[in-house]
Structure 1
Amino acid sequence: MIPLRPSPLAEQASARIEEQIRAGQWPVGGKLPGEVALAKELGVGRSTVREALRTLAAAGMVQSRQGSGVFVTADRPAGDWPARLRRAELAHVYEVRTMVEVQAARLAATRRTAADLTALDAALAARRTAGGADDTVFVDADIALHTALVAAAHNPVLDDLFAQFAPVLREQLVTLVGLFGIRSEDPNQGYDSHAALVRAIHDGDPEAAGRVLAAELEATRSHLLAD
């Protein structure tokens, strides 16, 4: 590698190491050279290398294992998560979506506030009204209901996870609902199960809420992936 020039050295060093990881010089699962070797290759001090590695570790690309060294754990920063979701198969997205939302439903049933219940009722009503609209409007209303559900769990990490899923789900569902004619027989497809979900949250029944949502998501996943 060509030695780096000043300012800011740690940022340049992390960028150069990332480039080499992406290029396959150090594959995922492989071990990086030691600090002394990296410092020599990059033309910087060991403290700069350590700072660069901390930056890459925070991005989820490398991990230090005590007594063993630093290993590559990903070939791109965690910030590329939305891009990875867009490339993922719908079946895989739905599997993870189920893990996230079923737990959110259970939490919502025990943590929901009066404001949350009002928001859920409004979202359910809007979803029912959207049954008379086109697929895009219907999918948007469905996702809005699920967003209100996750918000009622009052867990900011779940909020962030679902926020990453929502745009990908919208894009895929708008296409697939129309392609497979999901709403051809029932424009309000899934309304009864969504109403049962909201009732379970009103009732403060986490087991029922999780069970109803798990069944609904599996039914939708099976329907969409039948072909």
Structure 2
Amino acid sequence: MPLVTTTRTGLVDQVIAQMRELVSSGEWPLGRRIPPEAELVTALGVGRNTVREAVRALAHAGLLEVRQGDGTFVRATSELSGAVRRLCDSELRRVLEVRRALEVESARLAATARTDEDIRELETILGIRDSAVHEQRDREQAVAQDTRFHMRLVDASHNPVLIELYQGLSEAVLSSVASTLDPEASPEQHISHTELLEAVRDGNPERAAAEAGGFLEELLSRIGEDTGT
């Protein structure tokens, strides 16, 4: 999405809106540096102060992160996600507790609301995830596909409010998956999601909820063991 020259009214709000859209659409990817100030000034046809004010506003909202001497980076894809990241930074246990609350109910709903397409896509994603985990060849792929599986399972609940809440947690989910997926573990030590998918496919909401809560409880117990709590 190209930047376009703004009109002279509400300049800061217009710049904020354009930058927010570039972030949420993925045009400015998560974790990447955005164009430098001089380039933004030229592309938008506004002054440096306008650009700086817009950047400050988006940084305050949690979407951008200004690193002195290094530039400005995309920190989150929405205000909700930015707020979650501020609350959850370095708090893996808190993220897992929130995931447990949302994913248990999502699994319960998905067991009765899922479509054939939902199941096919979940099976495909889980197959790719398990292949990457078991062959220990691509940790980045394993993390990405594990995260994708959980996101897609929540989508299968077909509850728009629950889906929106979970999407706001997406970066924290990815970070928690990366933190709990041990590249040195044997394939047998990795948590399986096969039983969870089977419960959803079989239309068994109670078993699906139990499976979703069970693996997160296991992760929480591992953290407790690591910290001695």
Normalised by the shorter chain, which TM-score bucket? 0.5 to 0.7
Give the letter for the 2:215 counterpart.
Answer: E
Q: Which residue of 1 aligns with 2:191?
A: 190
Q: Distance in 2 between matches of 1:79 and 1:171?
A: 12
Give the letter for the 1:144 counterpart.
Answer: R
Q: Which residue of 1 aligns with 2:31?
A: none
When residues 137 and 188 of structure 1 are mapped into structure 2, their CA distance, relative to the original with a 3 A threshold, is farther
Q: CA deviation at 1:89?
A: 0.9
Q: CA deviation at 1:103?
A: 0.1
User: Where in structure 1 are there 5+ consecutive unaligned residues?
Assistant: 1-6, 12-58, 60-76
Give the letter for the 2:119 counterpart.
Answer: L
Q: Which residue of 1 aligns with 2:85?
A: 83
Q: CA deviation at 1:105?
A: 0.2
Q: Which residue of 2 aligns with 1:169?
A: 173
Among 134, 147, 151, the residue aligned to 1:147: 151
Provide runs of 4+ in structure 1 moved above 6 Å: none
**Contact 1:85–1:93, Cα closer than 8 Å, also in 2:** no
Q: Which residue of 1 aligns with 2:47?
A: none
The correspondence of residues 6-25 of structure 1 with structure 2, limited to 5 A, is none
Q: TM-score, normalised by structure 1?
A: 0.58
Give the letter for the 1:221 counterpart.
Answer: L
> Deviations 1:138-175 (Å, cap 9, x if unpaired)?
11111111111101000112212221222123224324
Give the letter for the 1:152 counterpart.
Answer: A
> Deviations 1:92-115 (Å, cap 9, x if unpaired)?
111111010000000000101111
> Deviations 1:7-54 (Å, cap 9, x if unpaired)?
98xx9xxxxxxxxxxxxxxxxxxxxxxxxxxxxxxxxxxxxxxxxxxx
Q: Distance in 2 between matches of 1:78 and 1:186?
A: 35
Q: Which residue of 2 aligns with 1:23?
A: none
Q: CA deviation at 1:127?
A: 1.3
> Aligned pairs, how many?
150
**Contact 2:81–2:169, Cα closer than 8 Å, also in 1:** no
**Contact 1:200–1:206, Cα closer than 8 Å, also in 2:** yes
The percent of aligned pairs where both chains have the same amino acid is 33
Q: Distance in 2 between matches of 1:114 and 1:156?
A: 19
Which one has a bigger Cα radius of gyration? 1
Q: Which residue of 2 aligns with 1:223?
A: 222
The correspondence of residues 42-121 of structure 1 with structure 2, limited to 5 A, is 80-87=82-89, 89-121=91-123
User: Where in structure 2 are there 5+ consecutive unaligned residues?
Assistant: 1-8, 14-60, 62-78
Q: Distance in 2 between matches of 1:214 and 1:79?
A: 23
DSSP-derived class of the 1:226 partner: helix
Give the letter for the 1:145 counterpart.
Answer: F
RMSD between aligned alpha carbons? 2.6
**Contact 2:81–2:167, Cα closer than 8 Å, also in 1:** no
Q: CA deviation at 1:184?
A: 1.6
Q: Distance in 2 between matches of 1:83 and 1:207?
A: 31
Q: Distance in 2 between matches of 1:115 and 1:126?
A: 17
